[in-house]
């Protein structure tokens, strides 16, 4: 707690809080952004036109939060300023994945209801520079968020950050609608399962063309695909037909890093870490070659063969 105070809001941030002159709409919505020193640490001039991207999926448990944390980390590693907004009110998770659960003091609803300023509620990531978290309220409910206030907050954040990544809750009800309201782009996360693809299809239908949804296929098991026991990338996207941002294999190291609260994207040497960085590059608009589905490791004899044959 004390540590957080030091690292995020330098003393006197509350006194230093000044409502920005052009923030009439935001203050009407109960949102005030302060010109505190924390803010100038976040970004100097506050007139960016950052991108607000919602990460959603319909179905729960497909890896929205993991994708948000890793994409945010990878984008920040590229030098962009990034804020991650956990819009899953009542089920706060993003702080855990980032390992920031002990630093969260205020949450999204504190900001929306005007109890604290945005800067007070933003938590700086402990590993990655320029990466910030706005945590969800844990003991509140999704319908307590007023959509227009959240939208106003997202547009204020876009003026300060290059990327505002919104981690949407599962489902297609109010929580989803709130998460989507302030965004102008969407990334949908899908696993190679019938239920997940069906839900993504539904979500994409709800999103319409405005959000230009792009796809991340998560938890692919190349070995199973090779044996014809799992839907392949082509199977999934043959149905969804979305621009493919990347494919993430189902690797034990994702569980290990989540246990530790450190996003895998920090480890660029691992194939999965590299895959997240490739997604970040694509999001940033870099002309990266098309995503290659992770290859199945060969059988023991195949590996032995390639070892003897000079590792083709």
Site residues, other proteins (CB under 8 A): 193-194, 197-198, 201-202, 205, 224-225, 227-232, 235, 239, 241
Say which DSSP state 165 is in: E
- In the complex, least distance from residue 228 CB atom to other proteins, rounded to whole angstroms: 2
Q: Which residues pair with 220 in a beta bridge?
A: 249
**In terms of CB distance, is 22 or 302 closer to other proteins?**
302
- In the complex, least distance from residue 303 CB atom to other proteins, rounded to whole angstroms: 19
**In terms of CB distance, is 230 or 275 closer to other proteins?**
230
- In the complex, least distance from residue 235 CB atom to other proteins, rounded to whole angstroms: 5
Sign of torsion, CA 91 97 103 109? negative
**In terms of CB distance, is 104 or 190 closer to other proteins?**
190
Copy the structure tokens of residue 30. 């109960």
Q: Which residues pair with 189 in a beta bridge?
A: 216
**270: CB partners within 8 A, 6+ apart:** 251, 253, 264
Distances (CA, A) of 6 to 124, 126, 297: 11, 12, 47
- In the complex, least distance from residue 67 CB atom to other proteins, rounded to whole angstroms: 22
**In terms of CB distance, is 37 or 223 closer to other proteins?**
223
Q: Which of 189, 176, 221 is nearest to 67 (CA)?
A: 189
Parallel, antiparallel or unpaired: strands 123-124 and 131-134: antiparallel
Q: Which of 308, 292, 151, 141 is nearest to 222 (CA)?
A: 292
- In the complex, least distance from residue 197 CB atom to other proteins, rounded to whole angstroms: 6
- In the complex, least distance from residue 19 CB atom to other proteins, rounded to whole angstroms: 43
Instruction: Output phi, psi for 106, to 5 deg.
Output: -120, 160
- In the complex, least distance from residue 175 CB atom to other proteins, rounded to whole angstroms: 22
**In terms of CB distance, is 172 or 284 closer to other proteins?**
172
Residue matched to tokens 């990531």: 125
**In terms of CB distance, is 143 or 302 closer to other proteins?**
302
**In terms of CB distance, is 241 or 303 closer to other proteins?**
241
Q: Which residues pair with 187 in a beta bridge?
A: 55, 214
């Amino acid at each position: 707690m004390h540590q957080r105070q030091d690292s995020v809001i330098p003393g006197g941030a509350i006194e230093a809080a000044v409502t920005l002159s052009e923030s009439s709409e935001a203050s009407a919505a109960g949102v005030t952004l302060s010109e505190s020193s924390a803010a100038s640490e976040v970004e100097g001039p506050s007139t960016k036109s950052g991108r607000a991207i919602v990460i959603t999926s319909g179905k729960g448990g497909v890896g929205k939060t993991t994708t948000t944390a890793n994409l945010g980390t990878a984008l920040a590693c590229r030098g962009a300023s990034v804020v991650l907004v956990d819009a899953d009110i009542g089920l706060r998770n993003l702080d855990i994945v980032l390992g920031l659960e002990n630093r969260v003091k205020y949450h999204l609803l504190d900001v929306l209801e005007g109890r604290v300023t945005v800067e007070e509620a933003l938590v700086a990531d402990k590993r990655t520079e320029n990466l910030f978290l706005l945590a969800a309220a844990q003991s509140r409910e999704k319908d307590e968020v007023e959509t227009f206030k959240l939208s106003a907050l997202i547009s204020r954040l876009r003026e300060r950050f290059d990327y505002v990544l919104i981690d949407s809750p599962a489902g297609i009800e109010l929580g989803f609608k709130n998460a989507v309201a302030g965004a102008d782009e969407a990334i949908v996360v899908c696993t190679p399962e019938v239920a997940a693809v069906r839900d993504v299809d539904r979500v994409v239908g709800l999103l319409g063309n405005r959000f230009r949804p792009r796809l991340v296929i998560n938890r692919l098991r190349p070995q199973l695909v090779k044996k014809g026991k799992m839907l392949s990338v082509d199977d999934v996207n043959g149905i969804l037909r979305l621009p493919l941002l990347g494919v993430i294999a189902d690797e034990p190291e994702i569980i290990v890093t989540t246990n530790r609260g450190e996003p895998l994207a920090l480890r660029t040497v691992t194939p999965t870490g590299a895959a997240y960085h490739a997604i970040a590059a694509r999001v940033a608009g870099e002309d990266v070659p098309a995503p290659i589905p992770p290859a199945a490791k060969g059988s023991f004899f195949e590996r032995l063969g390639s070892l003897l044959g000079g590792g083709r």
